[in-house]
Structure 1
Amino acid sequence: MLWYAPLRAMSEPMPLEALAPAVRAAFGAGARIVAAEPLAGDASTRRYVRLRLAGAAEAPTAVAMLLGADRLPLGSEEIGGVAGGDELPFVNVGRYLGGCGLPVPAVYHQTPTFLLLEDVGDTTLWAAARADAARVSELFGAAVDLLVALQAAGAQRPAPACYAFRQRFDGRLARWELEHFVEHGIETRHGHRLPAAERAALLEALAPLAEPFERATPVLAHRDFHAWNLHVQDGRLRILDFQDALLAPDAYDLASLLTDRTTAELVPPALEASLTERFVEGRAAAGVPVAPGFAERYRRCALQRALKVIGRFYFLERVKGKPGYLAYLPAVYGVARRMLRAEPALATAAARVGAWVPELGEERPA
């Protein structure tokens, strides 16, 4: 998610008249908006505007997250928010994370249609690391340490009032995402549905990828913990886009961090292994050691997520009219290919998937 990359224009006018009262409520009667800068959003319907302020001593800028009147849940499209929740998941989860000392943006003001947030700048972890190759290990190491702190907080300070503890990334959701991959990464891409028998055989071959989500003891997870959802501000990392946090396998967020999109350009296998070791050691030092079988969980979470992302990107391009994400597909195919080849037990899955996704194989199964 590229929260704070400037855009030149937006398709809809800025509702500054609606934002001005919120600015005064947050920063005092003398605070006013002197400029508004549209910002790049993500794959959701949310939009973002940086507000430059006068008369607000606490903050010269703030970011308005515009939800729209029909976007109250502010959760993932797959989960659809928490049943019975009476506040925005971003606010609910952010309150918990901030209370644990984790570096999330402050919420200055909230309404059912927009939030006024602390501005954490434009520099993503990805951009900072790409700009300074000598700091890649340091920056991603800091992200690993932050992930350890997140998981330790979840283990040591569980809070039923936080929505993240009420929903789980279980086998059902993992299988749904694999079906999403088949539907869009294969069927939408090729323009036709698979024969029923082939579709069933393909999903059966992919079933082992749901096992970590069914068997592993779940931990607190961000769900999209990657280098575009972490920003570098004043020498420290800030966490964004956490509204879909939930309970998930311990390896899931680490796989997201180290294998998302084009991260392999910055994190080669040797550094990936070193950062994984740092994570395992950090969990142990925090008093929450990982369970046996972590390496396999990591590979399977990385592969499940890569396939989900492939399907998602085709969905965004063909259904939502957002083709920009297709540029990341070669790198995501590379992750999926590497994880498939690292798991001999997934040979059947590799053959089945490769029959329909040429980037992942060459031979159609008999």
Structure 2
Amino acid sequence: MNRYKSLQQFLNPHFKGDNYQLAAITGDASFRRYFRVNAGDESYIVMDSDPSKLDNTPYVELNKVFSEHGFKLPKILQADEKQGFFLLSDLGNTHLADLLGDEDRILHYKHLIKLSAQWAQIPPAQHMKVFDNDFLQFELSIFTDWLITEFLQLSVSVTQYQLWQQACQILIGNALAQPVVTVHRDFHSRNIMRTGHQWAIIDYQDAVQGPVCYDLVSLLRDCYFQLPKEELNDLLDYAFAEFNAEGLIAETSFSEFKQWFDLTGVQRHLKAAGIFCRLKLRDGKSGYLTNILPTLHYICDVSKEYPALIELSHWIEDHIIPLTEQRLRQEIR
């Protein structure tokens, strides 16, 4: 309540005594809160990002970087960085997630593959961390810490620990073998918006220098929407040609590219499954529980195609998924 009052005090000078209405916008998977501000015929977004919980410097600085390179992002109209309040331009209500039933879905994806290839070519900038071995180890630990240990309350056997470590080394090696580019990190249907005739990108503050296939995985193997297999295969062919044309994957065969894509997906989905559990247990956000099982099935389906990951697939399919189903049934009661 105190922050809400402070937020109003932040907004009052901007509107100079004019009436305005605040309406909460739900669905963000972080500590940030968003509100739509309506004042007469104008609308804005206000972001509440408590600096005691989040470092807002990357949000501000990377906004400049990506905007200067021609990408459509929310404009920061007014900011109180000390308190963590930001008044932003309103990009509307239409996300890619709202357009996935369109007959133009494939065309949307092709445009966004091109956009991701352009994003990848942005030069490294301050506040972009590097996806190195330690970073990847930490991301993978989110799965064991939050899904295995905290959500399922499981102890891992020596054999399971060994197969997990072997799988991690394969996934880390796959990530580090790829060309390093600028990666949004969450380039999926809920972070891509359609505003007018443009695609706009939000939630860009965690951008890193990382594997060339990472954003493509976020887009085509979205945790919130599963593309039909034929469409996925066609779009992967399209992405291979586009990335080649842009010079991102010189002298790379399609089979190598597909392996990069697949194993990057396994790594990302392991992290995501752990994050969905963390959102419930740490942050009290239950809305992501329904995404856990589809994400685990993604991991199994892809891992089965690679002999080195067969044991990981069996462990998750035979042990982790049934226990997760049981725990989720308890949550629903």
TM-score by length of 2: 0.87
Pair 1:184 & 2:166 matched: no
- Alignment equivalent of 1:275, drawn from 216, 221, 235: 235
Say which SS state the counterpart of residue 200 (structure 2) adopts: strand
Query: Residues 1-366 of structure 1: matches in 2 within 5 Å?
Result: 13=4, 15-21=7-13, 23=14, 32-54=18-40, 60-74=42-56, 88-112=57-81, 113-130=84-101, 132=102, 134-152=103-121, 154=122, 158-160=123-125, 162-164=126-128, 167-195=129-157, 198-264=160-226, 267-290=227-250, 292=252, 293-358=256-321
- 1:36/1:52 contact within 8 Å kept: yes
Cα distance in structure 2, aligned partners of 1:11 and 1:323: 25
Cα distance in structure 2, aligned partners of 1:317 and 1:261: 16
Change (3 A) 1:348 1:234: same
Change (3 A) 1:175 1:159: closer
- 2:167/2:312 contact within 8 Å kept: yes
Change (3 A) 1:240 1:190: same
| Structure 2 residue identity aligned to 1:309 | A
Q: CA deviation at 1:33?
A: 4.8
Change (3 A) 1:314 1:290: farther
Q: CA deviation at 1:320?
A: 2.3
Change (3 A) 1:359 1:126: farther
Say which SS state the counterpart of residue 188 (structure 2) adopts: coil
| Structure 1 residue identity aligned to 2:265 | A
How many residue pairs were aligned?
Answer: 318
- 1:205/1:352 contact within 8 Å kept: no
Q: CA deviation at 1:140?
A: 1.6
Change (3 A) 1:103 1:121: same
- 1:260/1:332 contact within 8 Å kept: no
Cα distance in structure 2, aligned partners of 1:358 and 1:39: 32
Q: CA deviation at 1:354?
A: 3.8
Change (3 A) 1:245 1:257: same
> Structure 1, unaligned stretches of length 5 or more?
1-9, 25-29, 75-87, 361-366
Say which SS state the counterpart of residue 190 (structure 2) adopts: coil
Cα distance in structure 1, aligned partners of 2:113 and 2:217: 11
- 2:91/2:195 contact within 8 Å kept: yes
Q: Is 315-324 or 284-293 further displaced after alignment? A: 284-293
1:364 — aligned with what? none
Cα distance in structure 2, aligned partners of 1:93 and 1:359: 42
Cα distance in structure 2, aligned partners of 1:352 and 1:202: 9
- 1:175/1:210 contact within 8 Å kept: yes
Task: Kindly provide the CA deviation profile for residues 225-271 of structure 1, in whole angstroms up to 9, marking residues without a partner as x.
Answer: 0000001111321100000001110001100111122321xx21211
For the aligned residue pairs, the C-alpha RMSD in angstroms reads: 2.4
Q: CA deviation at 1:355?
A: 4.8
Change (3 A) 1:191 1:34: same
Say which SS state the counterpart of residue 186 (structure 1) adopts: helix
Q: Is 343-352 or 175-184 further displaced after alignment? A: 343-352
Q: Is 330-339 or 246-255 further displaced after alignment? A: 330-339
Overall identity of the aligned pairs, in %: 24
Q: Is 202-211 or 118-127 further displaced after alignment? A: 202-211
- 1:89/1:163 contact within 8 Å kept: yes
- 2:113/2:216 contact within 8 Å kept: yes
- 1:333/1:359 contact within 8 Å kept: no
Q: CA deviation at 1:11?
A: 11
| Structure 2 residue identity aligned to 1:138 | L
Change (3 A) 1:316 1:190: same
Change (3 A) 1:93 1:313: same
The runs of at least 4 aligned residues of structure 1 exceeding 6 Å deviation read none
Change (3 A) 1:72 1:309: closer
Cα distance in structure 2, aligned partners of 1:150 and 1:33: 39
Q: CA deviation at 1:89?
A: 0.6
